[in-house]
């Protein structure tokens, strides 16, 4: 029943819910909810008996609810519908618990229902392995509340029983998950709105440096078949084509496109599965030209992939890409537009353009120019005024965005259409190369220029720091710069680093097999099962017979073991009666002593043995001398022999 320990359990569930759903809250609402939870504590630990404890009246609850809901509607509209719903439901649950009367089962039923729903909402916000495990633990805690609410008031959780039940509950549960038909999304639901991460709409000198400081995961990829070389791992995410003298922006002019008709040689085709972390933006990551894309993704003429809604949870996609240069779109004027200024750079561009015969040659000249005295650093000096001029002719130190920006400027000034691509370069091969892990640290910017109607890639950073391609950033930076990146203490220690890596691997396979389980995989699984069954049909009858025997023997063995155990645990009086049953049956109203007396009358020849058994029995049962037990067993055996003797 709904006693105090149960209420404490429910309170703990709500506390855990508030913590797990904290992402959906803003600071002030989190504070208010925490206060409401605290208000329950005096009720829980009040010394008064259950029925006398003061609970919140309905009026008080309603007034609080009205106030908080009004505040939420006024100040939290930016949070989105999903967050608002979570706020409402948790508020209702907390207020219901505050006004909980111990005899009201209807209240408990509703609370239980809402808790189950809120736990499901936690799964929208948190999907990593650790969080999901926490969530499932919370689900079990809620289940225990559910059980206790319908059990007798002083009952405990039957944990042994529950463990036995879980032996077939878990296969049933997972079987349902694996086999039950899955649907594609029926309609759009409000999504969780949080600050976006990753590459933004604007590329400033410095924006990539900020990204690189983050150790966060961006996405992970598993390739079917051959792994591409390091020089091909340019993950395209965004294209910046408008320059205002300071920062590069992306124009929104990209039309939807399809490259499915493109003929690509198999050697240049890659198929891979990408598990993207939620970054609250629409853009995705791909190599080269995406050929086959899932139906819920959009592909544009820039060769970029995007989702219909900002990515708010870890999602996986199957993609196929061709490692070919992208065909140019018809309108190219925007790729030549430049703001006024930067005269020195323009002069350099004119000079290089005179020397070069083709865009490709021009790019090579730019590369040569960059190899003279330029420095690759995470902490370049601040640029003011004519930024490109200042960078190329004064500071000569910068990060990838500086080089990309300057190269693109020179190309445009020399009359070659060009643009900046933002994305990620490389990544870290994990678990013996089974998958590639790309972090924000791998963020990169490079240039695409037009030649022969095709967009060619040019990475100016490689001219300055050729090792960038084959080594991680950590290996390239100076010790001071490295220290700046490694804010995380856990990464400095070797053992904890290894542990972290293993946990990351685990988390990846969790995403791949559990979060990424979809209709295709289900089909695969069913096909495999079918093949198995077919193979089974072709099998030898002898093998089948063995299998059948085995499946029959195992339960029989188990049953025998069960019987044996039961027998062992049988109470002494029952055991004794069973032993003597062939000779005389004890009437239920008789005591054992009376029964022995009756037995002695029936079998006078066994009087001595009967009194011996009687004596041991009395000592065992009433004096609790457990050491007598073997003696009793022996005497009982003798008694049975004596009873069999003829008179």
User: How many whole angstroms separate alpha carbon 443 and alpha carbon 217?
Assistant: 11
User: How many whole angstroms separate alpha carbon 503 and alpha carbon 271?
Assistant: 26
Q: If binding is defined by CB under 8 A, does position 182 make contact with other proteins?
A: yes
Q: Which residues contact 563 (CB under 8 A, 6 or more apart)?
A: none
Q: If binding is defined by CB under 8 A, does position 143 make contact with other proteins?
A: yes
500 — alpha (psi -120 to 50), left (phi > 0) or beta? alpha
User: How many whole angstroms separate alpha carbon 336 and alpha carbon 354?
Assistant: 18
Q: Which is nearer to other proteins, 43 or 112 (CB)?
A: 112
Q: Which is nearer to other proteins, 24 or 365 (CB)?
A: 24
Q: Which of residues 160-179 bind other proteins (CB under 8 A)?
A: 165, 169, 172-173, 176-177
Q: Which of 48, 74, 167, 180 binds other proteins (CB under 8 A)?
A: 180
Q: Which of these ranges, 89-97, 131-139, 237-245, 416-424, lies near other proteins under the rule CB under 8 A?
A: 131-139
Strand order in the sheet with 202-203: 202-203, 248-249, 242-243
Please report how the helices 343-355 and 359-370 are oriented relative to each other, as an axis angle in degrees rounded to 10. Answer: 120
Q: Which of 88, 223, 509, 517 binds other proteins (CB under 8 A)?
A: 517
Residue 84, burial from CB neighbour count under 10 angstroms (0-12, 13-18, 19+): middle
Segment (H or E) for 429: strand 428-430
Q: Which of 28, 45, 150, 558 binds other proteins (CB under 8 A)?
A: 150
Q: Which is nearer to other proteins, 136 or 543 (CB)?
A: 136
Are 392 and 345 spatial neighbours (Cβ–Cβ below 8 Å)? yes
Q: Which is nearer to other proteins, 488 or 570 (CB)?
A: 570
Enumerate helices (H) and strands (E) in the chain, giving the number of each.
23, 18
Q: Which is nearer to other proteins, 109 or 567 (CB)?
A: 109
Q: Which is nearer to other proteins, 120 or 539 (CB)?
A: 120
Q: Which of these ranges, 150-158, 363-371, 387-395, 494-502, lies near other proteins under the rule CB under 8 A?
A: 150-158
Q: Which is nearer to other proteins, 188 or 647 (CB)?
A: 188
Q: Which of residues 518-537 bind other proteins (CB under 8 A)?
A: 518
Q: If binding is defined by CB under 8 A, does position 315 make contact with other proteins?
A: yes
Residue 317, SS3?
A: strand
Residue found by looking up tokens 């079917």 in the block = 224
Q: Which of residues 187-226 bind other proteins (CB under 8 A)?
A: 187-189, 191
Closest CA to 614 of 637, 596, 627: 596
Q: Which of residues 80-109 bind other proteins (CB under 8 A)?
A: 105, 109
Are 363 and 450 spatial neighbours (Cβ–Cβ below 8 Å)? no
Q: If binding is defined by CB under 8 A, does position 139 make contact with other proteins?
A: yes
Q: Which of 45, 117, 429, 558 binds other proteins (CB under 8 A)?
A: 117
Q: Which of 28, 45, 75, 113 binds other proteins (CB under 8 A)?
A: 113
Q: If binding is defined by CB under 8 A, does position 575 make contact with other proteins?
A: no
User: How many whole angstroms separate alpha carbon 628 and alpha carbon 620?
Assistant: 6
Q: If binding is defined by CB under 8 A, does position 149 make contact with other proteins?
A: yes
Binding site for other proteins (CB under 8 A): 105, 109, 113, 116-117, 119-120, 123-124, 127, 132, 135, 139, 143, 146-147, 149-153, 155, 165, 169, 172-173, 176-177, 180, 182-189, 191, 313, 315, 514-518
């Amino acid at each position: 029943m709904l006693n105090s320990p149960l209420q404490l359990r429910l309170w703990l569930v709500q506390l855990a819910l508030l913590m797990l759903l904290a992402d959906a809250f803003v600071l002030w609402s989190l504070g208010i909810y925490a206060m409401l939870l605290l208000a329950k504590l005096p009720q829980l630990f009040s010394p008064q008996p259950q029925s006398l404890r003061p609970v919140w009246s309905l009026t008080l609850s309603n007034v609080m609810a009205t106030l908080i809901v009004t505040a939420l509607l006024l100040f939290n509209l930016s949070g989105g519908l999903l967050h608002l719903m979570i706020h409402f439901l948790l508020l209702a649950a907390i207020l219901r618990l505050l006004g909980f009367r111990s005899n009201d089962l209807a209240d408990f039923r509703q609370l239980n229902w809402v808790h189950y729903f809120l736990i499901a909402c936690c799964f929208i916000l948190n999907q990593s392995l650790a969080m999901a495990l926490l969530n499932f633990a919370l689900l079990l805690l809620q289940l225990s509340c559910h059980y206790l609410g319908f059990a007798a008031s002083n009952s405990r959780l039957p944990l042994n029983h529950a463990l036995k039940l879980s032996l077939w509950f878990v296969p049933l549960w997972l079987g349902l998950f694996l086999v039950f038909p899955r649907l594609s999304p029926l309609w759009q639901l409000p999504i969780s709105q949080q600050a976006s991460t990753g590459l933004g709409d604007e590329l400033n000198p410095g924006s990539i440096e900020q990204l690189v400081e983050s150790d966060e995961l961006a996405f992970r990829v598993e390739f079917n078949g051959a792994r591409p070389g390091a020089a091909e791992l340019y993950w395209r995410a965004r294209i910046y084509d408008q320059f205002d003298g300071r920062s590069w922006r992306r124009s929104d002019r990209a039309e939807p496109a399809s490259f499915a008709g493109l003929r690509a040689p198999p050697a240049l085709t890659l198929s891979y599965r990408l598990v993207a972390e939620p970054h609250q933006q629409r853009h995705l990551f791909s190599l080269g030209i995406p050929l086959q894309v899932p139906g819920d993704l959009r592909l544009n003429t820039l060769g970029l992939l995007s989702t219909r809604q900002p990515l708010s949870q870890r999602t996986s996609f199957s993609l196929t890409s061709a490692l070919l240069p992208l065909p140019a779109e018809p309108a190219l004027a925007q790729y030549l537009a430049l703001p006024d200024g930067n005269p020195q750079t323009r002069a350099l561009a004119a000079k290089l353009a005179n020397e070069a015969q083709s865009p490709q040659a021009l790019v090579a000249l730019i590369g040569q120019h960059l190899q003279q005295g330029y420095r690759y650093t995470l902490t370049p000096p601040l640029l003011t005024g004519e930024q490109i001029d200042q960078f190329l002719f004064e500071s000569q130190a910068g990060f990838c965005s500086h080089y990309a920006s300057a190269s693109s400027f020179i190309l445009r000034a020399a009359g070659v259409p060009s643009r900046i691509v933002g994305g990620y370069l490389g990544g870290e091969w994990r678990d013996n190369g089974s998958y590639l892990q790309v972090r924000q640290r791998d963020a990169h910017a490079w240039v695409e220029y037009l030649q022969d109607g095709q967009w060619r890639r040019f990475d100016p950073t490689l001219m300055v720091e050729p090792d960038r391609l084959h080594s991680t950033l950590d290996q390239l930076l100076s010790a001071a710069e490295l220290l700046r990146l490694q804010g995380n203490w856990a990464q400095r220690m070797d053992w904890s680093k290894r542990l972290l890596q293993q946990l990351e691997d685990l988390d990846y396979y969790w995403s791949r097999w559990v979060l990424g389980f979809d209709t295709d995989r289900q089909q695969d699984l069913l096909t495999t099962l079918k093949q198995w069954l077919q193979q089974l049909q072709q099998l030898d009858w002898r093998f089948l017979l063995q299998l059948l025997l085995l499946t029959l023997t195992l339960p029989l063995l188990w049953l025998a073991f069960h019987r044996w155990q039961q027998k062992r645990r049988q109470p002494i009086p029952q055991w004794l009666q069973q032993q003597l049953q062939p000779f005389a049956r004890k009437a239920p109203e008789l005591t054992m002593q009376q029964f022995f007396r009756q037995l002695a009358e029936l079998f006078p020849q066994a009087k001595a043995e009967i009194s011996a058994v009687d004596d041991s029995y009395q000592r065992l049962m009433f004096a609790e001398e457990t050491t007598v037990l073997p003696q009793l067993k022996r005497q009982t055996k003798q008694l049975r022999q004596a009873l069999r003797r003829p008179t």
